[in-house]
Chain A
Amino acid sequence: MLSKKQLFTRGMLDISPHMLSVIPFGIICGAIGVELGFNPYLVYAMSFIIFGGASQIVFLQLLSGGASSLVAVASVGIINSRHLLYGAVLSEYLEKLSFIKKLLISYVVVDQGFAESNKFFKKNRSEEYLHYHLIGTGCTLWVCWQIATLSGIILGSFVPEELGLKFAIPLTFIAIVVQDLKKLDHVIVMITCGLSSLLFFDAPFKSYIIISPLIALFVAALLLRLKK
């Protein structure tokens, strides 16, 4: 049995390699907000209140392009709706927690944190304080995201644009799923999702980000039926 502290530290260690992409992305995100002419305090407030990288950039871009705030808010909701899927997966492991703890832990569920903690949960089902791993990944991401966006807001884009560091984001997610390329069923699901995301990229409110996972999960359900 690992202690709470050991699990928390393990979570921090498991998520730390992803900071290689999260920190530059946070700096870019903060800098874009100021460059587009928004109030720096409001740009930072997004990191605290919304706490979701891609959705924050879309929110800024839509508003600076003159979109209605209703459209911008709806887009953030749709982009982040993928968390519903993460929650459905995590609920199994967090079941024993009290309602209040569930409410608190939800705030720090982010893509990379979900991915790494879910991998850990699958291998260590019997641990009693499993959720401390998720708190470890989530808090590390949270702290780094706050510092990175703040430094982007204060210092501007001191990361040279020519480096194209936004590219680190797809690379981070490649690192997360790459081992599943060994399994044919997962490869089919991944390709379905990827191609659908390109096909539906222009769908309103950035809804490709939830449409394509739903299509891919439908294909996964079909594959499961075939396997039997």
Chain B
Amino acid sequence: MTLTSIIFAGVLTYFTRMTMIALISRDMLGDKIKAVLEYVPSAVFPAIIFPGIFINDYGAFIEINDPKIYGALVAIVVGYFSKNIIATILAGLISYWFLIFVIFS
């Protein structure tokens, strides 16, 4: 790893952040595109959520009884009703820990 490669990666990353904010004006995006962009959070974040649950550190699919699946389900239910971020994360983690340290240990 060299500083040059980090700088290249950093410049590239900065361009992904800056391009649409600084170089695009509102008039360039039509109403239809704006309506579709309403879905960006729902269309992007599952690409982080699903692999984070269903794929392990070695790039393989997990088993159907993996504690992460249950942890995620608990988090979804708690998050849906509590509308609280901390409660959602803690509910997921604690149920996951309960499964790996108490039930499956």
Contacts and interface: CB of A to CB of B under 8 A. Distances in A.
A135 to B, nearest CB: 13
A153 interface: no
A23 to B, nearest CB: 12
Residue from B21, B40, B55, B61 with most neighbouring chain A CB atoms (10 Å): B21
Contact of A198 (B54, B86, B89, B96): B54
How many residues of B sit at the interface, in one of the four size bands? 35 or more
Interface string B45-83: 111111111110101010000001001100110011001
Given A109-B17, A167-B52, A208-B47, A17 B42 contact: no
A200 to B, nearest CB: 9
A166 B52 contact: yes
A2 interface: no
Contacts of A198: 50-51, 54-55, 61
Nearest to A206: B51
B42 A189 contact: yes
B85 A175 contact: yes
How many residues of A sit at the interface, in one of the four size bands? 35 or more
Contacts of B49: 170, 173-174, 177, 194
Contacts of B16: 77, 80-84, 87
A20 to B, nearest CB: 5
B89 A106 contact: no
Contact of B39 (A168, A170, A189): A189
A176 B43 contact: no
Contacts of A179: 79-80, 83
A103 B18 CA distance: 6
B21 A217 contact: no
Residue from A60, A82, A208 with most neighbouring chain B CB atoms (10 Å): A82
A103 B20 CA distance: 11
Interface in B23-54: 24-26, 29, 32-37, 39-54
A157 interface: no
Interface in A125-164: 162-164
Interface of B: 1-3, 5-10, 12-14, 16-22, 24-26, 29, 32-37, 39-55, 57, 59, 61, 68, 71-72, 75-76, 79-80, 83-86, 88-90, 92-93, 96-97, 100
Given A202-B59, A209-B48, 8 more contacts: A69-B2, A83-B20, A88-B40, A168-B93, A170-B50, A171-B88, A171-B92, A224-B32
The 7 A-B pairs at the shortest CB distance, nearest first, are namely A87-B20, A170-B52, A49-B10, A17-B85, A216-B43, A194-B46, A194-B50
